[in-house]
Amino acid sequence: MQRLWFAYPGDIDTPTGGYGYDRNIVAGLRELGWRVELLSLGEGFPFPSAATLAGAQRKLLALPKGALVVVDGLALGVMPEAAAAISEHLTLVALVHHPLCQENGLAEDRENALLVSETEALAHARQVIVTSPATARQVSDLIGVPADKIAVVFPGTPKPDAFERRPSGTARLLSVGTVVPRKGYDLLLEALAGLADLDWHLEIVGGLEADPACYRALLRQAQDLDLAARVTFRGAVRPADLAGFYQRADIFVLASRYEGYGMAYTEALAYGLPVIGSGGGAVRETLPKDAAIYCGTGNVDALQEALKLVICDQAERVRMTDAARIAAAVLPTWQDAAAQFAGMLREVAE
């Protein structure tokens, strides 16, 4: 039986896209017969305490000599000293969802420090696995990892059972993603403020604890724009409960400033939702033109125009729904993703 240690920051059950990727890959590897040992490296990443960093390094150094270990980049990117130490006796694979320095709202000095740290850490990885070609280019161009050390393993997409979407006179808008500045909820509210004369309601599903100041600012913004009664923050939900939100929605919209891939977009396609989105190259390359409208990044006018079209034009919404189902049918499953991930690991371990 092939054995792997999978190291990650915090709690792997945290309901975010990155942790969702980790959980599904681990489950898929186990289904393929791998023995996967989970190893939490502690809380606070990517800005852990010195004690947490030291503890994480001790845990990794305690693994058996020659062990194959995948370390989630949210932790590894700020552990260059540990990466150097463990690379001497472990087979180190880095899983990078997106470069840490690309997170929105970072002060320049912190952004630069993360870039230096991640560059040093990833230099010690035998292999770097990323979730999109756009992230692969960033890891190569920005961080300097050689292209032949980078492999892309796309996230899987659910294949939901057939269901009937109940009609509603109100356009039911859905956004899914942790409430942080990078997700662009402030841009979405600004766009929706110009569509107050239309009949719509927005549900936002995503954790509220990651950046409480961002959440408070959004509540104030919604109140100031007279949208408070038309926007519902649901907080984080269990993965099993998320399907119901996709099934009840009419339109999916996420105004991200940046995404390493954007799993919520493809999940929305799988549920037959017209998609309106932004978030840079990874999102632009992921969204199929017939089923989605890509609005650039930070372009409130384009976002508002796209929302108005899909809210008002029922025929366009139906056309995009049909295209979404066609596009989703050819997206990889989590079984596909796990099989590809396993293939990468076997190559590294040889």
pLDDT digits (tens, 9 = 90+) for 124-154: 999 999 999 999 999 999 999 999 999 999 9
Does 345 map to a domain?
A: yes
Mean pLDDT of the chain: 96
Q: Which two tokens stand for residue 20?
A: 């969702």
Task: Determine the structural domain holding residue 74 and report its residue range.
Answer: 3-156+332-349
Q: Is the pLDDT of residue 68 over 90?
A: yes
Q: With beta carbons less than 8 A apart as the criterion, state whether 214 and 206 touch.
A: no
CATH code of the domain covering residue 256: 3.40.50.2000
Number of domain units in the chain = 2
Distance CA(217)–CA(215), nearest Å, equals 5
pTM (two decimals):
0.94
Tell me: do 277 and 307 sit in the same domain.
yes
Q: Which residues contact 48 (CB under 8 A, 6 or more apart)?
A: 9, 42, 56, 75, 78
- Residues 288-301, mean pLDDT to the nearest whole number: 96
* Same domain for 219 and 252: yes
CA distance 112 to 228: 37
Classified as helix, coil or strand, 301 is helix
Q: Is residue 162 part of a domain?
A: no
Determine the Cα–Cα distance for residues 272 and 117; give it in Å rounded to an integer: 41
Residues 194 and 317 in one domain: yes
Name the β-bridge partners of 200: 171
Same domain, 194 and 300: yes
